[in-house]
Amino acid sequence: MHTRHFLQLIALSALWGGSFPLLRIASPAFGPWLLAGVRCMLAALVLTLLMRALREQWPPRAAWPRLALLSVLTVVAPFVLFNWAALVIPAGYSAVLNATAPLFGVLGAALAREERLSSRRLLGCAVGFAGVALLVQLGPVAVTPRVVLAALACTAAAAAYGFGAILMKRATMAHDPLPASAVVHVAAALFLLLPSGVALPSAHYTSGALIAVAVLGIFTSGLMYWISMRLMREITASAATSAAFMIPLFGVAWGGLFLGEPVTWGMAPGCVLVLAATALITGFNPFRAPPER
């Protein structure tokens, strides 16, 4: 993997790491279904406007069913599941459970026979989970059926991301990233239109929730999805999902910078392991010269 690809993964992780605190702000106000619907509508609008500005063409109608399936796996299901979990468990828990996505991505790629399930990648998954455990110091949460369901919801969302990465990789090879991203979010907005309408009367808006959903829809959904699809054209699906290992790292960093949460030198080993795991899964080696073109 080239250095620029590795740096792009870090940048995506930094931005996505901020989405979990935003979900904790927006989910109680909007509810899981309406938050997902508004987020997708905003993303679809932004991507459609970008398409018009760049004079991109929509994919052919025959491609829309496959892109709609991609939408269910990488947008609709994860958004609703993480939104609901945000009502129950802290953002840090969701970020940690989201870090299981690379494992599902590696397994999915192997099952689809698109990538080899190498010992290096399995080791990367193990190292990544160990790093996350060291990095994120979470307070005790009483184990209740609702907490268990929320944890299972986050794991299911991570699995959807991991397995959906295979379809995402295929979509990037068949379509330009921007139109494909736009179709994915238009389809997601249509899927969520009815449940969002049902949930609308029970929503209670706050200024913080409105700002949070705007950032989620415009940046962490629309623009970041497009950028991730562009990146996935050049790297493997499992390498792209490995960015999830770094999301808890940035969750801790943002908490220290903006919320005054403690950041100690004891977290350094976890940070090192998380970065090492990403390098193992992606094959990135900063000491190896990139192949000549």
pLDDT tens, position by position, 126-140: 887 777 666 555 455
- Average pLDDT over the chain, rounded to an integer: 81
Rounded CA separation 265/270 (Å): 10
DSSP assignment of the chain: --HHHHHHHHHHHHHHHTHHHHHHHHHHHH-HHHHHHHHHHHHHHHHHHHHHHHT--PPPGGGHHHHHHHHIIIIIHHHHHHHHHTTTS-HHHHHHHHTTHHHHHHHHHHHTTSS---HHHHHHHHHHHHHHHHH--PPP----HHHHHHHHHHHHHHHHHHHHHHHHHHHHHHS-HHHHHHHHHHHHHHHTHHHHHHHGGG----HHHHHHHHHIIIIIIIIHHHHHHHHHTTS-HHHHHGGGGGHHHHHHHHHHHHS-----GGGHHHHHHHHHHHHHHHT--TTSPPPP-
Which tokens in the block code for residue 203?
Answer: 């929503």
pTM of model > 0.85: no
pLDDT at residue 30 greater than cutoff 90: yes
pLDDT at residue 115 greater than cutoff 50: yes
pLDDT at residue 4 greater than cutoff 50: yes
Rounded CA separation 35/193 (Å): 11
